[in-house]
Amino acid sequence: MMMLWGCKCFHWSSVSDLLQPQSESFSLPAPLPDWQQGGGFADGTIKLGVLEVSHVTKFELIWGCNLSGDKKKGFSFYKPVGIPDGFFSLGHYCQSNEKPFRGFVLVAREVFNSELGDPSIDNLRLPALRSPEGYTLVWSSDDASEENFDGCGYFWLPQPYEGYKALGFVVTNKPEKPKLEELKCVRADLTDECEVYNLLVHTTSKFSQVPFGVWSTRPRHRGMLGKGVSTGSFFCSSYWSHGEELDIVCLKNLDCSLHAMPNLDQIHALIRHYGPTIFFHPEEVYLPSSVSWFFRNGALLYKRGESSGQAIDASGTNLPAGGSNDGEYWIDLPCDSGRESVQYGNLESAKLYVHVKPAIGGTFTDIAMWVFCPFNGPATLKVGLMNIALSKIGQHVCDWEHFTLRLSNFTGELWSVYFSQHSGGKWVDASDLEFFEGNKAIIYSSKSGHASFPHPGIYIQGSSGFGIGIRNDAARSDYYVDSSKQYEIIAAEYLGDGVIREPVWLQFMRKWGPTIVYDSRTEMDRIIKRLPLMFRYSVENVFTKFPMELSGEEGPTGPKEKNYWIGDERS
């Protein structure tokens, strides 16, 4: 879990002392095109069943605090403004002052949906939205004196009537309770569980020393099949601990049609507009290729118990489909003189393999882009100022890496990008990306290992604080693939059967590469003995934390066998 910052003492700031968010707001480098019409994509509102939601990006600053008087080192709380007629707020918004302002909260209204069945007759008699019964004060920066309250913040939890749930908090800069009509609670059957995500703030009151934390939230049930819808609000508490149930929930999308998802023409338009350029390191040896090029140039299918491999058809039609990763079959490089040349890939044939799927209950679209490399090269160990090229550790046949674009289905705007990095990865907001030609982000692929990063540099997998670990070098070069042009859509299940013809090789659920176990400890011990005494213990400790992929050679499974093919990204 990421913590932006925390401290024990803040400078509470009056509203007039803080910058208005519009003065530092973020927008993409180029204007959005008029997306091709069809369905409900980029219509501005999304129907979730008996509720219709719109996202609001205009806010009024309510209260904030900062460190040492520096307005950038703090956080601010906002209420949505410019809410469309008939819609109601569900909660307020929080954002760090260190980033350009870019946020949203959902507002909702009830709509009639004759096609939506509801098993509860009693629920049909209750309105979908209802004002709270009252509010409970969760925390305040106030010291209870009679001084001017303009610099104090008060955090209120709505108290819903029976059968309803609260979805967010209200922040005020006065001690009086908010008006009941400040927001709405939602009927319980229209909600889903949420969970804390990033810790935004951890602080205490100036005088009472009562602890206080603020977290961003996300739906607990995510991924392609998840129905949870984030409202954009936050969770806060003085005494909450992990594992306890939250006082708020998120929305649930009960509209199975996913009408706000893009159609096929819109998918192509989105890829042409946002498709990133992937830059490989200038010293990269193991470049990508298309899967068909790999098959045509001698890739072999092996079966357990048989010593020789079988040539694979260019489209993979003779690969066993379905099943599980049971070790019965695997793919390997050619065993003749062409083995080495195939390892180096073929940049001219390379393309991105695209999987399009709903995210956050169908209010966002994830465009996952997979890149295939015939070989993953050995790693380089960094120890302080020393760099040690490893002979085998880290290498394996075939490499599948990916990154994912997350787009708002309200507007079609790029919201964030997920960068896959070996056994993990991270989401990066659009405001933190580098762009190349309009709204096309840059993806930097690391040397030999092909992990993706948002910026050039040296990234350490291990103990970055001590400068000890596996190097991931990322830089721009003349080796690149433009995914806005070089792509193939391989899956978009929500479009229905027959719309996208999945390639045969996608159904191969076994390893794309043999498993070779070797004594990596011998090489590690040899390296440790060469190091100065002051580094040996630290390096040995880091070695014990290396992922299993560094202890031998093991080919990866294909994209569809990954749990995040259906589930959410690992973050």
Check residue 424 and give its pLDDT.
Answer: 85
Q: Give the C-alpha separation, 28 to 431, whole Å.
A: 8
Q: Which residue has the higher pLDDT, 531 or 281?
A: 281
Phi, then psi, of 192 in degrees rounded to 5? -140, 165
This prediction's pTM: 0.90
The neighbouring-strand residues paired with 452 are 445
Q: Give percent of the chain above pLDDT 90.
A: 68
Q: Give the C-alpha separation, 508 to 503, whole Å.
A: 10
Q: Give the C-alpha separation, 79 to 256, whole Å.
A: 31
Which segment, 19-28, 150-159, 189-198, is predicted with the most confidence on average? Answer: 189-198
H or E segment at 8?
none
In the chain, what's the furthest Cα-to-Cα distance? 86
The pLDDT of residue 461 is above 90: no
The pLDDT of residue 18 is above 60: no
pLDDT in tens, 152-178: 899 999 999 999 999 999 999 999 999
Q: Degrees (nearest 5) of the Cα angle 132, 136, 140?
A: 135
Burial class, 130, CB count within 10 angstroms (exposed 0-12 / middle 13-18 / buried 19+) = middle
Phi, then psi, of 550 in degrees rounded to 5? -90, 0
| Average pLDDT of the chain, as a whole number | 87
Closest CA to 538 of 438, 430, 456, 466: 466
The pLDDT of residue 427 is above 60: yes
Phi, then psi, of 46 in degrees rounded to 5? -135, 130
The pLDDT of residue 551 is above 70: no
Give, in order, the Cα–Cα distances in Å from 569 to each of 50, 143, 210, 423: 29, 43, 35, 11
pLDDT in tens, 376-425: 998 887 777 777 777 677 789 999 999 999 999 999 999 999 999 987 89
Q: Mind giving me the DSSP string for 132-163? A: -SEEEEEEE---S-SS-GGG--EEEEEEPPTT
Q: Mind giving me the DSSP string for 386-455? A: EEEE-SSTT-EEEEEEEEEEEEETTT--EEEEEEEETTEEEEEEGGG--BSSTT-BEEEEPTTT--EESS
pLDDT in tens, 1-17: 333 333 334 444 444 44
The contacts of residue 190 (CB under 8 Å, 6+ apart) are 48, 49, 50, 51, 128, 251, 252, 254
Check residue 548 and give its pLDDT.
Answer: 52
The pLDDT of residue 76 is above 80: yes
Check residue 26 and give its pLDDT.
Answer: 92
pLDDT in tens, 308-352: 999 999 999 999 999 899 999 999 999 988 899 999 999 999 999
Check residue 119 and give its pLDDT.
Answer: 42
Contact yes or no for 147/12 (Cβ under 8 A): no
Q: Give the C-alpha separation, 242 to 256, whole Å.
A: 32
3-class DSSP state of 188: helix
Closest CA to 349 of 505, 450, 444, 488: 488
Neighbours of 202 (CB within 10 A): 16
Q: Which residue has the higher pLDDT, 119 or 95?
A: 95
Q: How many helices (H) and strands (E) are present in the chain, helices listed first?
A: 6, 40
pLDDT in tens, 220-270: 999 999 999 999 999 999 887 777 889 999 999 999 999 999 999 999 999
H or E segment at 235?
strand 234-237
* Residue type at position 543: F
Contact yes or no for 219/238 (Cβ under 8 A): no
Give, in order, the Cα–Cα distances in Å from 507 to each of 275, 309, 474: 25, 19, 32
Burial class, 430, CB count within 10 angstroms (exposed 0-12 / middle 13-18 / buried 19+) = buried
Check residue 260 and give its pLDDT.
Answer: 97
Q: Mind giving me the DSSP string for 289-336? A: --HHHHHHTT-EEEETT-SS-EEPPTT-TTSPPBS---SSEEEE--SS
3-class DSSP state of 262: coil
Q: How confident is the model at residue 99 (pLDDT cuts 50, 70, 90)?
A: confident
Hunting for tokens 């205490």 — which residue is that? 204
Contact yes or no for 311/297 (Cβ under 8 A): no
Q: Give the C-alpha separation, 419 to 568, whole Å.
A: 13
Q: Give the C-alpha separation, 158 to 233, whole Å.
A: 13
Sign of the torsion formed by the C-alpha atoms of 73, 78, 81 and 86: positive
Q: Give the C-alpha separation, 156 to 104, whole Å.
A: 20
Q: In this structure, what token pair is assigned to residue 30?
A: 């180029």
3-class DSSP state of 268: helix
